[in-house]
Each structure stands twice: as C-alpha cells, then as structure tokens.
Amino acid sequence: MTRATGPLTGATGPRRLGLAAGAATALVAALLAPTAQAAGTAADSAVPPGGGSLGEHVLVLDPSMPKAEIQHRLDALAQAQAGNEFGAERYAVLFEPGTYGTAADPLNFSVGFYESVAGLGRDPGDVVLNGSVDVYNQCVDGDRAKCYATTNFWRSLSNLTVNVAGKSGCYANTDFWAVSQAAPLRRVHVNGNLTLMDYCTGSPAWASGGFIADSKFTGGTVINGSQQQFFTRNSELDGWTNGVWNQVFCGTPGAPAQSFSTDPAAAPYTTLDTCPATREAPYLYRDPAGAYRVAVPALRRDSAGTDWAGGAAGGDAAGGGVADSGVAAGGSLPLDGFYVVRPGASARQINAALRGGRNLLFTPGVYELTEALKVTRPGTKVLGLGFATLVPTRGDAAIRIADVDGVDVSGLIVDAGPENSRVLVQVGERGSHDRHDRHDRDPIGLSDVFFRVGGARDGYATTALEVNSDDTLIDDAWIWRADHGAGGGSWNTARSETGLVVNGDRVVATGLAVEHFQKTETVWNGEDGRVVFFQNENPYEVPSQDVWMASRTQKGYPAFAVGDRVRSFEGWGMGSYSFFNQGVDIHSSTAFQAPSRPGVRLHDLLTVFLNGSGGIDSVVNGTGRAVNSGFGGPSNVLSQP
C-alpha cells in the first residue's frame, strides 16, 4: 500500500530523510554500547541487565538513567531509522518498569522503521511515559506539499502507559501515531489525545490500514483523520472522530455505533460488540527478581475489552481459562526455555534447538535460512524482537508448523528469497484439516506476522501463507507483494500468485491485509471461517487484460474468494481498491466472490478507484456499482446474500 485517498502521480510513495547507512550504523552502535553487555550463550538462564544476551541491537532503558541521556539515544535511533524502509538494521527498545519523564520535562520521541518499542512490565501500568511516542509524516524531498504516512510501515508500540504531555504549537499535548500497515499498537494505555494521522507535518497527510488491539484510551479522543480503513479490537475508547471509507471495531466499548451504509453522508463504521476468538501476542517482561520471562495470554472467545483490565493478562472472558500446551492460561515461560537467536545463526542450529524442545526468541536482524524451520512440538513459542526477518534462500518455506496445539508465532517479517518458494509459511501439513483434529481449546496463533514478496529484495513465492490446521488464529497480518522497492512495480519481478490460502476449518482472521498478488489474492476454502476487517489493493502494474483473466469471461481476479464448496463463512468490513498504472484499460469483474448460499455471509463491503485506468466492475458476485474514473467510490454493499 502506497496509494492514498486521492489521485497521485509521479513517485509511488514518499521517501524518508535520514543518515547515510554507514553513519547511522556507527552512531547507533555507539549509543547502544553503554547498555549492551557482552553476549552470553544463546540460551543463558540469567540474562544480564541492559541487553546482554538479547543482542547488541536491543536497547534496554531504566528509570535511573538521566532523562537527557535517554532522550539522546532515542532521538539518534529514530534519526538513523527514519529513511531505512528497506534496510537491514533492526532494533528493539525496552523500558524497564518505572516512570520516564515528567509533565514539566516530558519524554517525547519518534519511532522509525524496524523499531519495536515495548515496556518490560507485566502490565501496561508498570511502565509509564510522561510525554509521547510519535510517528510523523514523511515528506518527499522535503516538500511539505508531498507529505504522507502511507508507507509508515514496520514499527510498533506495546505494553506501556503514555500520559500525553509536551511539544508545542500544532503538535502540543497529542500523541501522533501516523502509520499504515504492519505498525501495531498493542497493549497500551494512552491517557490524552491520540491522532492516527499527522495533520501538522505538511499535506495531504494520507494514512491507511492501521491496527490497535488490547489497548485503553482515556482522557482524550482518538482522531482517525485520513485513515482510509482502520481496525481496532478488544480495546476501550473515550472517543473516536471521523472515518474515511470504513473503520472496523470489535469488542471495543466506547466504539462508534454500527452505521456503515450506502448513504455517502453516513459515518462508515462497522462495529461488532464482541470479537469471535482472540489470543494476544506473547510478550517479554521482567519478573520481580529481574529475570526475563515470556507472558502467554489466554484464549478468549466472544470477548470485549482488554485482557489486562483486572491485572495481569489471563483467564477466558467466556468462562474460565483455556490452557496453552505446557503453560497455564495467562501464565508465563522462563527465558531459559528459549533459544535466543542472533544474526548469523544457521537454520540447522535453529532446528536443532527446536528438536531439543526449545522455544525461539529472534533478536533484531535478518536471518537467511537454507532450510525451513520445523516447529513440531505442541505449545512452541516463536517470537521476534525488532521485526526480526526470515528469508528462505533455497526455495523452501521459512517456517513449517506441524498440525499441533498451542504454537504461537509473533513479531516477524518473512521475506521471499531469490528462488521461488511454493509457500513461505505453512501452518499444518496439507490434508491436516481432513483429519478433523480440533485445536479449538488451544489453537495455533499468528500475531503481527508480516510477509513481503519484493521490496527489500526481488523475491519469489507462489503463496505467502497457507493455513491447513483447523482453528488457527491470524491476528494482524499484512501479506504484501511489493508495489515499490526491489522488484516492485514490474509484472515480471517479485512474482507471486496468492497471498493467503486457508484450508482449515474454523479459522479466524482479525486485521487482515493482502495486497498486489497476481491471481486470486485470498482463497478461503475452510468451513466456519470468520474474518473481521480485510484490506486489499489490486496489483498496480498489470500489463494487459489478457494476462489477468480468471476465466475466459471473468476479467481479473478477486481480492477475496470463498471456495465454491464452502457452506459456512462470515466476514465483516472488507475493502478492495484499484490503481492500474500502465495506462491500459484493466478491469476486475468483481472484488469479492462467494457461493450464494445462506451460510456464507459478507457484511459491509466496499470498493474504491484510487487512480489510473480501468477499475473494478462490481463489489461482490456481480452486484454493487462499478468504480472507475467516472465514479471513484466508495461503492458500498451492506450484505451478501
């Protein structure tokens, strides 16, 4: 996603200003050195404070440090990462429990590419920042008339409280989190105003496709602004303003009431009282003795609100805790049960750790894999810090997960490699769902797992993610074939047919974006599936209609297709956009395709013509007004059937 709410010409998206790569690396290394202890063994049971065996790209801050020193380090890191959209440098910033900044002397800092910022408390209230944690627009060549947030990807904030304070003028006393995909806010408490667009740093200030989960907002308003589509779940709101095409909420007290309509004057809100099934992402924290542990939140069904409102996460909002394999619901695991993986580790070493019963914690970096990582033990946890990135280099998958209970994978980017992979991540062996092995009490979960075919490198994959295991949870996934960067923008590079194939039954996806793939972008074959929020852009660079035909009579390919044999499926808040940029009259016959039977239900669908040529001829199954240069949309359909 680089396009936004209005017509754009020229460059595919904004580029950032920052330090040269060598200078940035040297500067950040110097700043991290005082707190990064000498590396220990990969599975140290006693992890020294200040980073230590978490690696040299983990910055651990504690409240005893002078505020000026903390400010300097965070500012330098943000400056180094500001222009690093496709660079290799990755960082995690971890705050020890305590309070940082004051109302009179606030801590205000920005977050750049590949920075994950998190508190090390058990609950968000254990780490308190008085100030703001910000993401601003990026301006093309410094031109304030070309400032956007539509490529503010790959950064995160989690597990802390922000008492908003400081700054001046237009920016005063407001936290700016102007992002698009792959930039989650999780498990945060923001006390004060939060804006999801940057209305101060130039114009037009477009943004698109963010994600909030398990968070609380008090003492102010969440300003949606220019966010085209946005997804918020299991959170609490004091107020929410504005909407562009569709804002989707589930399980969020205080959210706007359901109002999605074909009336262009109506507020575009899709609101569900509860979320079907969720399990929050595991997270790193320090226990009272100072040891690192990994919290494992519990499965929740038909839930609303945060899972930490009554203290440490745990329990099941629908009647009792649900146990994960090897750890009680809402419990935690010691870090000495993890192989702490650092850049340079081989796939063989990592697989040996998995066979030995270890969980995995990837420290920030890029990992080239000569063979797939094989997760076969029930309950295995695979976590990434600082957007750790896995790249299969020999045409295999990056990760293959067996059809077992309780595996969690979170906080990773998976890049396609130079040799075509049939699939980048496979959940359950093919045919798993045919065995009818239920995992409903302890499902496999993917949280904040992001896929790229192209962008950082010209990679190739037939399918990015294939889900064969029943009951799998997909929470905040951006599955992206690049529209810019290495391989992006050409039909014959960064080739990939499909972003997501779901064959398992009772799979639930919350916060799903699949974009620019060359055939049907999402194929859902499993029964009783649920999708809450779906965002899509068609491929931009289709060279001719002849090469983009689903059949002799169907132009283009659907963004989302429910399999012809599926008898039960339900989706809410689903949108698809077109921007065919080759000057050729390219059309998609329909954005969404599903069998017409009572058990298959789609709610609150939309299409939009962003710019370019051609368009989308119908929203779903031939119904819904076409979008094109004569009518840009949105074209809304309330339900199908």
pLDDT tens for 16-29 read 333 444 555 565 66
Rounded to 5 degrees, what are φ and ψ at 503?
-105, -20
Sorting pLDDT into bands at 50, 70 and 90, what band is 1? low
pLDDT at 25: 59
pLDDT at 29: 63
- For residue 510, pLDDT over 70 is answered with yes
pLDDT at 33: 57
Dihedral angle computed from the Cα positions of residues 408, 410, 413 and 419, in that order, rounded to the nearest 10 degrees: 0
Q: Which residues pair with 510 in a beta bridge?
A: 475, 532
Are residues 603 and 571 in contact, defined by beta-carbon separation less than 8 angstroms?
yes
- What gap in Å lies between CA 479 and CA 524, rounded to an integer? 15
pLDDT at 517: 98
Sorting pLDDT into bands at 50, 70 and 90, what band is 265? confident
**pLDDT > 70 in the chain, percent:** 89
Sorting pLDDT into bands at 50, 70 and 90, what band is 437? confident
Instruction: Kindly report, residue by residue over 476-502, the tens digit of the pLDDT.
Output: 999 999 999 999 999 999 999 999 999
pLDDT at 21: 46
pLDDT at 502: 98
pLDDT at 24: 55
Sorting pLDDT into bands at 50, 70 and 90, what band is 435? confident
- For residue 50, pLDDT over 60 is answered with no
Please report where in the chains the tokens 């359950």 appear, as a residue. 428
Instruction: Kindly report, residue by residue over 103-134, the tens digit of the pLDDT.
Output: 999 999 999 999 999 999 999 999 999 999 99
Give me the mean pLDDT over the 446-465 stretch: 98
Would you state the structure tokens that stand for residue 437, as one six-digit string?
A: 């092995």
Are residues 565 and 525 in contact, defined by beta-carbon separation less than 8 angstroms?
yes
Sorting pLDDT into bands at 50, 70 and 90, what band is 14? very low
Task: List, in sequence order, the alpha helices (H) in 360-479.
Answer: none
pLDDT at 4: 40
Instruction: Kindly report, residue by residue over 359-412, the tens digit of the pLDDT.
Output: 999 999 999 999 999 999 999 999 999 999 999 999 999 999 999 999 999 999
Instruction: Kindly report, residue by residue over 150-170, the tens digit of the pLDDT.
Output: 999 999 999 999 999 999 999
Is 521 catalytic? The answer is no
Strand 508-515 and strand 399-401: pairing?
unpaired
pLDDT at 329: 57
Lowest mean pLDDT among 252-256, 265-269, 280-284: 265-269
For the chain, how big is the Rg over CA atoms in Å?
A: 23
- What gap in Å lies between CA 298 and CA 599, rounded to an integer? 29
Give me the mean pLDDT over the 452-459 stretch: 98
pLDDT at 254: 98
- What gap in Å lies between CA 295 and CA 179, rounded to an integer? 27
pLDDT at 18: 38
Would you state the structure tokens that stand for residue 214, as one six-digit string?
A: 């398990």
Sorting pLDDT into bands at 50, 70 and 90, what band is 31? low
pLDDT at 404: 97
- For residue 322, pLDDT over 90 is answered with no
SS3 letters across 450-487? EEEECECCCCCEEEEEEECCCCCEEEEEEEEECCCCEC
Sorting pLDDT into bands at 50, 70 and 90, what band is 563? very high
Identified catalytic residue from 89, 280, 497, 537: 537
Would you state the structure tokens that stand for residue 237, as one six-digit string?
A: 């709101």
Task: Return the sign of the alpha-carbon dihedral for residues 26, 30, 31, 35.
Answer: positive
435: Cα within 13 Å, side-chain hemisphere = 13
The pTM of the full predicted model, rounded to 2 decimals, is: 0.93
Lowest mean pLDDT among 64-73, 126-135, 136-145, 597-606: 136-145
The CA–CA distances, whole Å, from 127 to 51, 297, 394, 632 equal 17, 19, 43, 45
Looking at every residue in the chain, the average pLDDT score rounds to: 90
Are residues 80 and 60 in contact, defined by beta-carbon separation less than 8 angstroms?
no
pLDDT at 142: 87
Give me the mean pLDDT over the 250-279 stretch: 96
Cα 394 to chain centroid, rounded: 26
Q: How far apart are the first and last CA of the chain?
A: 29
- What gap in Å lies between CA 180 and CA 197, rounded to an integer? 10
pLDDT at 495: 98
Give me the mean pLDDT over the 32-45 stretch: 40
Tell me, what amino acid is at 367? Y
- For residue 317, pLDDT over 50 is answered with no
pLDDT at 587: 98
CA nearest neighbour of 522 among 473, 574, 447, 586:
574
- What gap in Å lies between CA 583 and CA 210, rounded to an integer? 30
Element (H, E) at 424: strand 421-427
- For residue 433, pLDDT over 90 is answered with no
The CA–CA distances, whole Å, from 102 to 17, 105, 110, 125, 218 equal 30, 5, 17, 15, 18
- For residue 326, pLDDT over 60 is answered with no
Strand 138-139 and strand 147-148: pairing?
antiparallel
**Helix orientation angle between 21-32 and 67-81, rounded to the nearest 10 degrees:** 150
- For residue 327, pLDDT over 60 is answered with no
Q: Which residues pair with 27 in a beta bridge?
A: none
